[in-house]
Structure 1
Amino acid sequence: MPLLNFVTITLHVIALTFYLVVSFKPLSKDEQMDRYQKMNEEVEPFRKNLTECARQVKASMVDVENFLKRVPQTTSQGKCFVACILKRNNIIKNNKVVGENLIEANRAVYGDDSEVMTRLTKAIVECTRVIEGIFEICEYASVFNDCMHMKMEHILDKVTMERRMEALGQMTSDPDQWTDEEDEILKLVKDEL
C-alpha cells in the first residue's frame, strides 16, 4: 500500500509540474532583459549597504551570512550590522522603527499582496511591542529584525516560492532568441531564483 501511495503522489507531482511548465508563456527577450535590469537596480543599493555596513561595524563574514540567512546575531558586531542595515534602509530613523517604511520596502518586493501586507502590519505592531524598553540601538535593531523574521518567515517563503516557480516557468534560454551574453545573464538570474 505505501508503494501505491508513493506512485500516486509522484504522478500528481509530475502532472502538476507539466501543467506549470505548459501553462506559462515565456517572456520576450526585451521583457526578460527589462526584468533583469530592474532587479539589478533594486538589488545594487542593498549590496552597497551590506558592504559599507560590514566595513563600518567590522562585521565578520559569519555576521553577514547570518543576516542574509535570517539567523539571529550573536556578536555585538552582528547586532550593530543589523542596526546599520535597518538605518540605511530607513527602517529605523531617530532610533525608532518606522513601520510605514518597512511596509513600503516590502511592497517593492511583494507588491500589494493582501495576505503579506496584513501579516506584515500585524508583525510590525507585535515586534514593536517586543522592543519596548530596549535602549541600546544594536540590540533594539537585532531583536526587532529577529522578531520580524519569525513572524513573517512562513508567509514570505510561500510567496517567494510561488514567484520563483512562476519566473522559472516563464524563462527561456532558446539559443535562437538569445545572444551568448544574454544567455549568461539568464543563467545567473535562474541561479538567483
Structure 2
Amino acid sequence: MILLNVFAVVLPCVLASRTRGSSGTLVDFTDPKVQGHLDALVRMAQSCVIKVRATPKDVRAYFTNSSPVSRSGQCFATCMLEQSDIINHGKVNRDLLVHLAGLVNGKNSRVVRKLNSVSRLCLDSISGMTDRCQLASTYNDCLNENMIEFAFPLDIAEEAVRKMPFHLIQPNLPQEMKHPNY
C-alpha cells in the first residue's frame, strides 16, 4: 500500500472500532480517525475503478461485502488488495493485514483477534489458485463472510459508490489502459 496511507486498509472490516454504531455494526463511522481511513479507501477505489474498468455493480459489491458478479469485480478486489500490499505477487501478507487492523483498532481489539483467526482460515480457501483476480476475490469474500459484523452500513457503501469516477471510463480507451495486467 502503502501508496496512499498506511492505515487505508482495503477491507471494510478492518476499519471497525470497539463501539457499536447506529447501523448495528461494531463500527463508529463518525469517528474522525475512521473517516480518514474511509477517505483513503475511497481514493484507492477511485484508482482501481479506472485501472480495471469496474462498474458501479462491482464497486457496490465490494463495499457491501458481497461477492463480485463479474471478472472486473474480481479484479477490482485484487487491485484494492494489491494497492494495500495485503496481496503481493499472488501471496497474501496476513501479518500486514492483522498489523494494519491493529493500528486502527488496537492490537488486542476484538476485530484484530477475530481477523487473526479468520485470515488463517481464508488462506485455505485460496490454496492452489493461480489466477490473481480469482485468488484475491476469493480471499476477500472469505474475510467478508466471516467478519460480517464489521461491514459498512449501506448508506456509507452507497456514498463510496457515488464518489467513483465511472464517467472517466470510456469505451475508446487505448487497450493497454483497459486492463493493465489484470
TM-score class, shorter-chain normalisation, is 0.5 to 0.7
Q: Distance in 1 between matches of 2:146 and 2:107?
A: 18
Match runs of 1:178-189 below 5 Å: none
Q: Compare relative contact order (CA 8 Å, sep 6+) and give the higher one, 1 or 2.
A: 2
SS in 1 for 2:121: helix
Equivalence for 1:28: none
| 1:79 aligned partner | 74
Q: In the superposition, relative to structure 1, how do residues 39 and 126 fare at CA in structure 2: closer, same or farther (>3 Å)?
A: closer
Shift in Å, 1:45: 2.3
Q: Structure 2: how far apart are the matches of 1:61 and 1:106? A: 27
Alignment coverage as a number of residue pairs? 127
Work out the percentage of aligned pairs sharing the same amino acid: 25
TM-aligned CA deviation for residue 122 of structure 1: 1.1
Partner of 2:97: 102
Larger Rg: 1
The equivalent position to 2:111 in structure 1, one of 111, 116, 119, is 116
Deviation at 1:66, TM superposition (A): 0.6
Normalised to the residue count of structure 2, the TM-score between the two structures is 0.62
Q: Is 1:141 the equivalent of 2:132?
A: no
Rounded to whole Å, the distance in 1 between the matches of 2:147 and 2:34 is 22
More helix by share: 1
- Secondary structure, aligned partner of 2:65: coil
Instruction: Report the TM-score when normalising by structure 1.
Output: 0.59
Greater than 3 Å deviation, 4+ residue runs: 38-41
Q: Is the counterpart of residue 64 in structure 1 residue 59 in structure 2? A: yes
Unaligned ranges ≥5, structure 1: 1-34, 162-190
Q: Which runs of 5+ in 2 are unaligned?
A: 1-30, 154-158, 161-182
Whole-angstrom distance in 2 between the partners of 1:71 and 1:39: 21
